[in-house]
Amino acid sequence: MLILFDHSTPFPLSSHLTGHTVVDAKTRGWERLSNGELLAEAERAGFDILLTADSNIAYQQNLKERKIALVVLTGNSWRLVQRVVRKIVVAVNAARPGSYTVVEVPIRQA
């Protein structure tokens, strides 16, 4: 699958998403687009998944008509995201067009 990381997604996560192609929004010049514009551009460009740590995206956008899947992390500190990499990989692999999945990232070290 073709995955777009927005500016809030820790890029080291990409090395754990084997079998997928990951592109950073900044590489495309999309880092300043609003959520709606980013979703529209990503769909036009053929991305399958938007991976983001912007948990407000579901409240700011009408996701019913979207073809792109969204995987949302509840945090973006790489130190904490590393603890749930397996859950993120499962969510990405299970994503289907138009799906919306939240992966809980712990708020602090246990």
- Domain assignment of residue 31, yes or no: yes
- Domain assignment of residue 43, yes or no: yes
- Domain assignment of residue 108, yes or no: no
- Domain assignment of residue 86, yes or no: yes
- Domain assignment of residue 76, yes or no: yes
As a whole number of angstroms, the distance between CA 67 and CA 70 comes to: 10
pLDDT tens-digit series, residues 76-100: 999 999 999 999 999 999 999 989 9
- Domain assignment of residue 107, yes or no: no
Q: Residue 70 phi/psi, 5° resolution?
A: -120, 130
DSSP character for 76? Answer: -
Q: Per the structure, how many domains does the chain have?
A: 1
Q: Which domain holds residue 86?
A: 2-102
- Domain assignment of residue 26, yes or no: yes
pLDDT tens-digit series, residues 2-58: 999 999 999 999 999 999 999 999 999 999 998 889 999 999 999 999 999 988 776
Token look-up 């859950």 returns 87
- Residue 107, burial from CB neighbour count under 10 angstroms (0-12, 13-18, 19+): exposed
Predicted TM-score (pTM) of the model is 0.91
- Domain assignment of residue 6, yes or no: yes
